[in-house]
Chains A and B, each alone.
Chain A
Amino acid sequence: MILSVRDLKVSFRTHDGPVRAIDGVSFDLEESEILGVVGESGSGKTVSLLAVMGLITDPNATIEGSIRYKGRELVGLPPRELRRLRGNEIAMIFQDPMTALTPVYTIGWQIAEQIRAHRGVSKPKAMERVEQLLAEVNFPNPHEAMSRYPHQLSGGMRQRAVIAMALSCDPALLVADEPTTALDVTVQAGILDLVRKLRAKHKSAVVFITHDMGVVSELADRVMVMYAGRVVERGTRTELFSDPRHPYTRALLGSIPPLTGEKPRRLPAIPGSPPSLLRLPEGCAFGPRCPVRYEPCEARKPGLGASAHAAACFRVAQA
């Protein structure tokens, strides 16, 4: 087991009162496994993984629970120690490649910077490695690409550069936060291919955050569905797609876009909208949008249970 998150809670103090963005999230990740994390906007996908990276810098945030990486507790680890892991053993790819790179340095420089932050290698040695990495992520002309500035590259190429950077220190865990959402459909397919190939080669475990159930069905080994800061269903890809249990998951699957042709950028509409974290309903957070809601749903919050394929829903527990 490479990552084990238990009862993670993240709250923010805001002007309108305290907000619990993550409310008791638990999951495990095996070595070289791809975990797909899905859910509508605001469901807490990014925040929960930022917490794993130790990247929640907001002074108004509180983080509780346990995050163990290779058995080592990360919550409360001194910043120096965390920094040694970040970029080295745990790497992250962000959603928007247009803004993820510092505009005033070449991509070669930026990748080498990360290598040199963790490995005591000379600059020329680091640059050699950069060239290798860029070749690996399919830059047609890696040597020339090293001296390019971010603005001189297309979105897809920038995302490849970001991926090369994330892989530069052979991380055991790679977190990809919607790496294809900002890109063209044609470019998306290439990036997904790349992630799959690299996982095979580097044996990294991957947490892949996405809005797109289609992507999950192509890529993930296991899936975790999030709603309003909680995990509402988890299971293997097959379990989830052939036997979806939570009404929310079913709604998501009912709205899977076709695998061919134009894919919508966002999850297609499920009637209603996610609740505000400031005014969560009593009982099940999905209640107001749930077609099969009944009395118990309004009294208590459904728990997830301990089984491998589990759904946080009273109807499921009953069945």
Chain B
Amino acid sequence: MFYAILRRFGQMLFVMFGISVIVFLIFFATPGADPAARIAGRNASPEVLAAVRHSFGFDQPLYVQYTRMMEKIFVTGDLTSFVNRGWKVVPAVMDSIPVTLSLVFGAAVLWVVVSIIIGIVAAATRDSWLDKLLMALGLLGISMPVYWLGEVMNLMTQSRYHDSWAFSWVPPLGYKNFSDDPKGWFLTLVIPWITLAILYIGIYGRVLRAAIIESMQEDYIRTARAKGLSETRILFRHALRTSLIAFVTLFGLDFGALVGGSALLTEVVFGLHGIGKLTYDALQNLDLPMIMATVMYASMFVVIANAVVDFVYILLDPRLRAS
């Protein structure tokens, strides 16, 4: 077990190394473009260009350049943005991490809990009006674009109905630090959580329902019935338990992607300065150091999320445990 975890950790490092090399090569070794000019941004002066060239070691071989870059991100942490003069890239990323994590974690808790309930209820009342209603709502949730939904939410809670009893508790947009103001943190995030979670509740509820119904057809469910177990126990201990495997796969992928920056739209609508927003802005400005740093960060989370999924798999499915 210990050895397996160690090996997995080694794989993670290797994958991240691979990603960093590829990203580095794309931005710094593309023929015909001067990386110094790109790093320095549009209309940079010759002095700035020279400074960049020197500090990144562009006069030296590629592997030295790569090492310098990684050193600036991971060791000294003094990589600076040349678009926003003097802005330190690493602290900027560090500042936006808690915003994105708060948003995605909260939404994930919400969507996992709600979709599990929906999936179970729908599967248990299969083909009833309740099942049909839940699945129709799920489809509605899936088909609403998150940006549009966010705007509608804002319209309702921030302006149109803000003064009604229902939404008067909603604070203005923006992020509050958990450590400074836990209540404010929670209240500002409630609406973003719901907005982000709705899509996933729709998807996960439907996926879980289908998986449960599929496992209810399995031979071992018939065995469980022949044992004289109650339908509830069969549903929870036998059908649900084996259905969670598909659920976890999906969750790992989505969670990794969201934490890595795909919550961009939600962040933008609700004025949350998270990783998604940061990456988006960096791409808009071709801010190479920032892109490099956010990509490294995102790949780290995707890789970690995958490792966690693999680990949960092993917990859920004994067939994957090495004997």
Interface residue ranges, A against B (CB under 8 Å) = 53, 55, 57, 79, 83-88, 91-92, 94, 96, 99-104, 106, 113-114, 117-118, 149, 151-152, 162, 165
Partner of B226, one of A87, A96, A104, A152: A87
- The reply on B220 being an interface residue by CB < 8 A is yes
Q: Which residues of A contact B319 (CB under 8 A)?
A: 103, 149, 151
- The reply on B241 being an interface residue by CB < 8 A is yes
Nearest chain B CB to A31 CB, angstrom units: 21
A100 and B228 contacting across the interface, CB-CB below 8 Å: no
Q: Which residues of A contact B241 (CB under 8 A)?
A: 102, 104
Partner of A101, one of B223, B233, B316: B223
B220 and A101 contacting across the interface, CB-CB below 8 Å: yes
Do A104 and B318 contact each other (CB < 8 Å), given the known contacts A55-B222, A99-B220? yes
Q: Cα distance A99–B223 when bound, in Å?
A: 9
Which among B226, B230, B319 has the greatest number of chain A C-beta atoms within 10 A? B226
- The reply on B323 being an interface residue by CB < 8 A is yes
B317 and A104 contacting across the interface, CB-CB below 8 Å: yes
Of chain A, the residue at the smallest CB distance from B320 is A151
- Ordered by A's residue number, 22 sampled pairs between the chains whose C-beta atoms are within 8 Å are A53-B226, A55-B226, A57-B225, A83-B229, A83-B230, A84-B228, A91-B226, A92-B226, A94-B219, A100-B223, A102-B241, A102-B242, A103-B220, A104-B316, A104-B317, A106-B318, A113-B229, A114-B227, A117-B229, A117-B230, A118-B228, A151-B319
**How many residues on the B side are at the interface (Cβ–Cβ under 8 A)?**
23
Q: Which residues of A contact B59 (CB under 8 A)?
A: none
Q: Which residues of B contact A101 (CB under 8 A)?
A: 220, 223
Interface of B, secondary structure class, is helix
Partner of A103, one of B227, B237, B242: B242
Interface residue ranges, B against A (CB under 8 Å) = 218-220, 222-231, 233, 237-238, 241-242, 316-319, 323
A55 and B227 contacting across the interface, CB-CB below 8 Å: no
B228 and A99 contacting across the interface, CB-CB below 8 Å: no
Nearest chain B CB to A150 CB, angstrom units: 9
Q: Cα distance A63–B229 when bound, in Å?
A: 22
B242 and A87 contacting across the interface, CB-CB below 8 Å: no
Q: Which residues of B contact A149 (CB under 8 A)?
A: 318-319
Nearest chain B CB to A275 CB, angstrom units: 27
Q: Which residues of B contact A117 (CB under 8 A)?
A: 227-230, 233
Q: Cα distance A32–B319 when bound, in Å?
A: 39
Do A151 and B318 contact each other (CB < 8 Å), given the known contacts A83-B230, A113-B229? yes
Do A165 and B227 contact each other (CB < 8 Å), given the known contacts A103-B242, A104-B318? yes
